[in-house]
Structure 1
Amino acid sequence: MHYEIHGADNRPTVLLSSGLGGAAQYWIPNLPTLAARFRVITYDQSGTGRSPAELPDGYAMADMAADVASLLDNLGIERCHFVGHALGGLIGLQLAVMRPTLLDRMVLVNAWAKTHPHTLRCFAARKNLLLNSGTTAYVAAQPLFLYPPDWMASRTAWLAEQDAAGVTHFPGAESVLRRIGAIEAFDLSDQVGQIPHPTCVIAARDDMLVPSGCSVALAEALPNGELVLFERGGHACNVTDADGFDAALLAFLGR
C-alpha cells in the first residue's frame, strides 16, 4: 500500500485511516496541526488511490485491518495511536480485536459497532447510482452524504474540482462495491465491550449518513470510551470544522 510519513521520527506515532474513499488526502485539513506534534502516517487503502488492488470476493473489515497491521509491522512500529473516520473507524475497532497490542489510544469519527439500517439505505442508494447511472452520478452524490448544505453552498468551485478529481481517479465499480459490502456486513456489537483501549468517539448531530446515536451507543459500549458531540459538521466534520476537530483530537491524545 502507498503510505506517507509526516513529522519528526522521535515523536509518538499516529496512524490516520480514511472512510470509504480510502485516500490519504482526506486528512489534508488536519495534517499541519497533527504533524507539528506527532509522527503521522497516512495511507491509501487497498483498492483505492495509489494502492491499486483487485479485491477478493467476501472482502471484509478484517482484511482492511490486516493491511494496517502489516503496514505497521513492516515499518517496525510496535504501538501507535489510531484515528479513523467512518469505515476507517471500523478498521480501528477490528484491529483492536485482532491485534490489540498495536494500539494505544483510538479516536473514532462518526463510527459505529453495527451498521445502522439508515446507513444501509444510504449505501443502497449509492450502489444504485453507481450501477444504473454511472461513475459521474455516483461521485456527484458523494458530497451530499459528507457535508452540511450551507457549507457546500459556499464552496461550489471547490466541489466541482473534487468531483472532477473523483471521476478521474475513480478506483472502479468492483472495488467500491466490495468495500461497501464490507461496511454492510460489519458487526462487532458483541465484542466492543471487550476493547480496553482509551477511545474518543467524535460525532456530529447533523451527520446524514450515520445517525449520531450510533456514536453515542459506541462510546457507551466501550469500557474506556468517551464522547465528543458536535452540533454541526456533517459526516466529514474533521474537514468542515478542522479547528474544532483538531482541538478535540489533541486534547485526547495529549493526555
Structure 2
Amino acid sequence: MTVTYDIHGTGDAGAPTVLLSSGLGGAAAYWRAQIAGLVEAGYRVLAYDQRGTGRSAGALPADYAIAHMAADVIEILDDSHTARCHVVGHALGGLVGLQLALDAPARVASLALVNAWARLSPHTARCFAARLALLHAAGARAYVEAQPLFLYPAAWSAANAALVQDEVDHAFAHFPGTETMLARIGALKAFDVHARLGEIAVPVWVSAARDDLLVPWTSSQELSLGLARATLELAPTGAHAHNVTSPAAFNRGLLAFLAGAASLAPTTTEHAA
C-alpha cells in the first residue's frame, strides 16, 4: 500500500462506505469531529493519511498531481474491497474527490466538497504565495504558526488557544519537509477541472463558510453552478475548517445529504453555525 488508512465502524465491505479525504495537512485525524457521527449513523468509514504525510510519509513523484492522489484513493478502495463509496473531501481533499469522480466514476456514489474549488481563485493563489514566502524566508516553524490564521475564525482561535497551540506544535513535529509541501501545494495550484464539471453525474453537496479567509465561498458557488446535481450549503461562520469549528451544524448537513437529501438542481441554503 502507498498510504496508511483506517476503517471505522463495521468491517463489512458491502456496507455504505464514506471515504474522508483531508486538506493540505493530509491527516486522517482531521476528521475526528465527523467519524463518530458517521459510524453511529451506520456508515463504514475510511480515513487515511495522504501520501507524503503522517503515517504515509515518503517521497513524492517529481510530477506530483491531484491525479496521483486520486489513484491512491483507488488503491485504498481496492485494498479494502470497497466497490463504491461516498467521498467527503476538505479543500485539497475535495479536489481529490473531483478527480476521482472523473477518473473512476463507477467508484463514487456521491461527493461532499468542503471549501473546495474547480480552479484556484486569484485570492487563494495570493494566500498560498504568502504562505510559501513565509516557509522559504522563515522556515517550517513560522509556516505552521501561521496556519491557524487561514483555518479558524479569530474568536474561535482565541477561545481555544491551548488546543490551537497543541495543533501547531503537532504540525511542526510532523512537518513533512519543504520539498513535500512544495509538491503538494504545486499540485493543488495546478488543478483545474472547471471545463469538465459537467461530466460529473453523481449527487454533490458543496459546503462552504462565508468567512473562509483562504478560499472564498464564491469558489464553492462556482462549483455548484457547474455541477449537474449539486446543492450549495453556506455557513455564516466557521472559516476554512468549519467542520472543526462548527461540527454540529456541519454534521447535520452532511448526514442529511448522505441520507439522500441532495437535490438535482443547484440551490443555496443558509444554516446557523
Q: TM-score range by the shorter chain?
A: over 0.9
Q: Is the 8 A contact 1:220 1:226 kept in 2?
A: no
After superposition, the CA RMSD in angstroms is 0.8
Superposed counterparts of 1:104-183, under 5 Å:
104-183=109-188
For 2:87, the equivalent position in structure 1 comes to 82
Match of 1:60 in 2: 65
| Aligned residue number for residue 35 of structure 1 | 39
Q: How far apart are 1:201 and its partner, in Å?
A: 0.2
Show the counterpart of 1:5.
Answer: 7
Rounded Cα–Cα distance in structure 1 between residues aligned with 2:222 and 2:172: 35
1:111 aligned partner, one-letter code? A
Question: Matches of 2:72 and 2:117 in 1, distance apart?
Answer: 20
1:139-163 residue CA offsets vs partner (Å, 9 max, x unmatched): 0000000000000010111111111
Determine the structure 1 residue equivalent to 2:210: 205
Q: Compute the TM-score of the two structures, normalised by the length of structure 1.
A: 0.99
Shift of residue 9 of structure 1?
2.9
Aligned equivalents of 2:244, 2:257: Cα separation in 1: 18
2:270 counterpart residue number: none
2:220 paired with 1:215: yes
User: Which structure carries more relative contact order (alpha carbon 8 Å, separation 6+)?
Assistant: 1
Gaps of 5+ in 2: 261-273
Q: Which of 24, 29, 35 does residue 25 from structure 1 map onto?
A: 29
Indicate the residue corresponding to 1:227 in structure 2: 232
SS at structure 2 position matched to 1:40:
strand
1:163-192 deviation digits (Å, cap 9, x = unpaired): 111111111111111000001101001101
Aligned with 1:84: secondary structure? strand
The one-letter amino acid of 2:45's match is V
Q: Report the Cα distance in structure 2 between the residues aligned to 1:199 and 1:163, rounded to whole angstroms.
A: 32
4+ residue segments displaced more than 4 Å: none
SS in 2 for 1:29: helix
For residues 65 and 210 of structure 1, what CA distance do their matches in structure 2 show?
A: 21
Distance 1:150 1:74 in 2: 42
Q: Which of 13, 19, 27 is matched with 1:15 structurally?
A: 19
Q: CA deviation at 1:53?
A: 1.4
In 1, Cα distance between the equivalents of 2:120 and 2:32? Answer: 27
Greater shift in the superposed pair: 202-211 or 71-80: 71-80
> Residue type of the partner of 1:203?
A
- Give per-residue Cα distances to partners, 1:58-98, cap 9 Å, x unaligned: 21000000100111012111101110000000000000000
Instruction: Report percent identity of matched pairs.
Output: 52
In structure 2, C-alpha distance between the alignment counterparts of 1:145 and 1:179, rounded to whole Å? 17
The letter of the residue matching 1:110 is N
Partner of 1:193: 198
TM-score by length of 2: 0.92
* 1:70-129 CA distance string (max 9 Å, x none): 110121111011100000000000000000000001100001110111101111111111
